[in-house]
Structure 1
Amino acid sequence: MTVVAVLGLGEAGSLLAADLVAAGASVQAYDPKVATPAAGVTLTASDAEACAGADVVLSVNSAADAEEALRASLSSLKPGAIWADLNTATPALKERLGSAWARTADVALMSPVPGRGLRTPMTMSGPAAGDLAAILRGYGADVTVLDGPAGAAATRKLLRSVFYKGMAAAVVEALEAARAAGLEEWLRDNIATELIRGNAGTLDRLVDGSRKHAVRRREEMAAAAELLGDLGVPARIAGASRDWLADLAASSE
């Protein structure tokens, strides 16, 4: 039986821990904010205690805590243990973790964990990625291993986040402005229609159209940013769009 330590029992960590227990792993965990873990998960009093005797450590606490959690646990890690960092962090942080413990894996969760749990698509890189993939696949995980150092998986995750989280921020800003203008329901329906209509050619139209019509769209987004200001809504995304279009316009001159 594989002994897995899970550091952090937030939304992702708790679901992964529960699925690992259900699949037959022995799970010991630590989270200072959790008093009652999922059934079958052994709660410990510290990161180091959770890691004692573990074959695999899944660090799912936060990027801010990831490095300290590893350093606090080094004396408890048994030889050959795999330290897997699942936090959304920079490639540089993933590399620092690898310099502190050789058997590391950079793990990027490539979709939301709720509803999928351990079957959430994972992309891994780093020296222990292959071994970690073999272990987790045995418990039902969906894993893709990259031929690259720690940080390679994080790079893909963060580049994807620029689009997904950026798109989400644009929607939030647009709906906030529409609410102020009394047009939220109309815009919500419009956005939903456009998302449903999207297909493989949408990407090319977005990119090619932005380059071809950069000057006109720059002025359009400048006007949009001004409108948001009049409505009392910070034009963070609209302003950034205006500036990107200005750069595209300048590069084509």
Structure 2
Amino acid sequence: MKIATFSVGEDQHIGIMQDESIISLTELSAEEFPPCLKTFIERNNELRARVDQLIEQSENDIVTFPLSDVRILPPLTQPEKIICVGLNYIDHCKETGMEPPSSPVIFSKYANAIIGHNEAVEIPVNSNEVDFEAELAIVIGKEAKCVSEEEATDYVFGYTIMNDISARDLQFSDGQWSRGKTADTFAPIGPVVVTHDEVGDPHNLKISLELNGEMMQDSNTNNLIFTVPKIISFLSQSMTLKPGDLIATGTPPGVGMGRNPKVWLKNGDQMNVTIEKIGTLSNHVK
């Protein structure tokens, strides 16, 4: 199931994306499906069954919008936590000149950084070295504390795409990464969240990023150093993961800072991040 948060005029909905259209669950039953994906995630077991039931019962009353008539919004806007894993592809470690870590390298972004599909990434006034990073992001489905690797995927609701935008000059001048990683608009996510059952194995997905039509990153999640279960288990030993939390799993090689000459984002650039079975997240730069 590919679930999107979207708006039609002033009205916000959640719905199921199907090819070039989207079914509004909110129109089917606003009481059961308020336009908030986090609420859906919290009531997942109950509502997933109701989706199929309602669609079957209301076949003639289903409200479907062409994608061209809607605005796709960030699937989640206020997660309790946005957790990111750095240096999680061997070749990315090499291009940054850093040793592969022995355990996951963790940093955070904040909700101010979240934007959606087709929205603009804004270059901050205090940075001249803004970079792109295509990433698979985990969406947590239920509260997880001290879970084992064997049971970790039971706590996954689904997956989405994140572009981990990074101001490299701020990131490395500060001695820690927060300011360079979580400027306004630095966490594009979406366009959908695809449920865990539809994605299947998250460790065999093609992942790529095109900048102005040129392929910059082209890899597969089978190159992750730390797997999805490892990351979830590792984090849950220290913090309680909550429904709707986002965990970005790291970026493959090809980022701007690893190139010669280096490639920094500039006004008018267009980025398209594509992950197999999820879709394409598009954002421009200003």
TM band (smaller chain): under 0.3
What is the TM-score with the length of structure 2 in the denominator?
0.23
> Whose helix fraction is larger, Structure 1's or Structure 2's?
1
Query: Which has the bigger relative contact order, CA under 8 A and spacing at least 6?
Result: 2
Return the index of the structure with the highest Cα Rg: 1
What is the TM-score with the length of structure 1 in the denominator?
0.25
